[in-house]
Amino acid sequence: MKTQHIEPFFATLKAANPQPNTELEYTSVFELLAAVLLSAQATDVGVNKATRRLFPIANTPQKILDLGLAGLEAHIKTIGLYKSKAKHLMQTCEILVSEHGGVVPRTREALQALPGVGRKTANVVLNVAFGEPTMAVDTHIFRMGNRTGLAPGKTPYDVEMGLLQRIPPAYLVDAHHWLILHGRYVCQARKPLCWQCAVAAYCDFKPKTSSPA
C-alpha cells in the first residue's frame, strides 16, 4: 500500500464506524481480560454466550476462585479448549488476588506474566481498557496487514511493528478495531468481498473478479 493511501484508507473506515469497539461483552477491566483469555481459537459470539452465564455469578478474581475449577469449567464448557482456559483463568485470578490486590495491572510486563496471557491478549487489554495505541494482531489483522500491503510480515510481531510504524497517530487507538471488523466481515479469508469494500481503491490486493460468482 502506498504511503499516500494510508490516511484515506483509515479516514474511510473511521467515517463508516466513528467509535469502533470490541464485540466481546464486558462491564469491567477484569471481565474484558477474562473474555479475551477465553477467546483464543474461539468466536466472540461463542465467548459471549459463555460469559453471559459466568459473569452474573463470578465477575471478579476472588469470585472466580470461589467457584473452583470444576465450577468454572461448567460455566465455560461450550468454548473450545475450555479445560486449559479454565486452568489458566484460575491461575491468573490467583496472581491477581495475591500480587495485585484483585486489580488488573496496566503494564504489558505484568499482564504477560499472567498464565494464558500472551502479547496479543495484553495488547487488547491495554488498548480497549486503558486506551493505549497498541495493535493486537489476530488472524484477521495478520491477513489484512499482508493482503492490503499495509504492513506485510511473516509473523504477527512483524505485522504489529509494521502497523505501528505506518498508521497515522490520529487513527492508531481505534485502528485495531477497524482492521478486525473489516477483516471479519468484508476482507474475509477465503473470499474477500472486494466488490462491496469501501477501501478497495487503496488496497494492493486485486481480486480475480469484481462481483460475486
Q: Which of 141, 138, 200, 193 is nearest to 167 (CA)?
A: 141
Q: Supply the DSSP symbol for 155.
A: S
Structure confidence by residue, pLDDT tens digits, 4-28: 999 999 999 999 999 999 999 999 9
Which ranges of the chain would DSSP assign to H, the alpha helix?
A: 3-16, 29-38, 44-54, 61-76, 82-100, 108-112, 119-128, 139-147, 156-166, 169-185
pLDDT mean over 192-200:
95
Q: Which of 14, 120, 174, 191 is catalytic?
A: 120
Q: Indicate the residue type of 45.
A: V
Catalytic site includes residue 204 = no
The secondary structure of 58-118 as a DSSP string is --SHHHHHHHHHHHHHHHHTTSTTHHHHHHHHHHHHHHHHHHHTT---SSHHHHHTSTT--
Residue 191 exposure: Cα atoms within 13 Å on the Cβ side: 7
Residue 154 pLDDT > 70 = yes
Q: Which of 2, 14, 138, 206 is catalytic?
A: 138
Q: Are 32 and 129 in contact (CB under 8 A)?
A: yes
Domain boundaries, the chain: 3-20+134-202, 29-128
Structure confidence by residue, pLDDT tens digits, 78-137: 998 999 999 999 999 999 999 999 999 999 999 999 999 999 999 999 999 999 999 999
Say which CATH topology domain 29-128 has: Endonuclease III; domain 1 (1.10.340)
* Domain pair 3-20+134-202 / 29-128, same fold: no
Catalytic site includes residue 138 = yes
Residue 210 pLDDT > 60 = no
Q: Return the percentage of the chain with pLDDT > 70, whole number.
A: 97
CATH top-level class of 3-20+134-202: mainly alpha
